[in-house]
């Protein structure tokens, strides 16, 4: 159960961060409305709040979160940007998620 809860929380956290960065990108690089900066700021605030919900040490959470962020970012690349990840992307994500699992779930003394 802890694995599913942690994975879901990491995934929601990553989506909040990506949305918070993607909306300014649309504004600054694609000429979309500056009003997109308002939901971007809210999304980044939600992202910061979600990081506080993780039950383990902060540094460990940030390190492990990176692996999940990478996998969610590649999913975003595929679903939002329409670019299918390569085999190397899949291998890299597998390595990142393996590292994340080791960081988060290895027995501690």
- For residue range 55-86, what is the model confidence (pLDDT) as tens digits? 666 777 777 788 889 999 999 999 999 999 99
Instruction: Kindly report the number of other CB atoms within 10 A of residue 25's CB atom.
Output: 12
pLDDT class for 34, splitting at 50, 70, 90? Answer: very high
17 pLDDT band (50/70/90 cuts)? very high
In this prediction, residues 24-44 reach a mean pLDDT of 95
pLDDT at 61: 76
Query: What is d(CA 103, CA 89) in angstroms, rounded to the nearest whole number?
Result: 21
Q: Long-range pairs for 78-85 at CB < 8 Å and ≥24 separation?
A: 80/22
Phi/psi of residue 31, nearest 5 degrees: 70, 20
Please say whether the beta carbons of 70 and 93 come within 8 A: yes
Q: Is the confidence at residue 54, as pLDDT, over 80? A: no
């Amino acid at each position: 159960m802890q694995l599913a809860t942690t994975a879901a929380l990491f995934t929601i956290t990553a989506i909040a961060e990506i949305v918070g960065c993607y909306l300014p990108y649309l504004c600054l690089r694609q000429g979309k409305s500056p009003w997109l900066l308002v939901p971007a700021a809210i999304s980044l605030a939600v992202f910061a709040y979600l990081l506080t919900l993780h039950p383990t040490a902060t540094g460990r959470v940030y390190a492990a979160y990176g692996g999940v962020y990478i996998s969610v970012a590649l999913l975003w690349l595929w679903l939002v940007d329409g670019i299918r990840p390569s085999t190397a992307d899949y291998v890299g994500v597998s390595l990142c998620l393996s590292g994340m699992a080791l960081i988060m779930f290895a027995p501690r003394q």
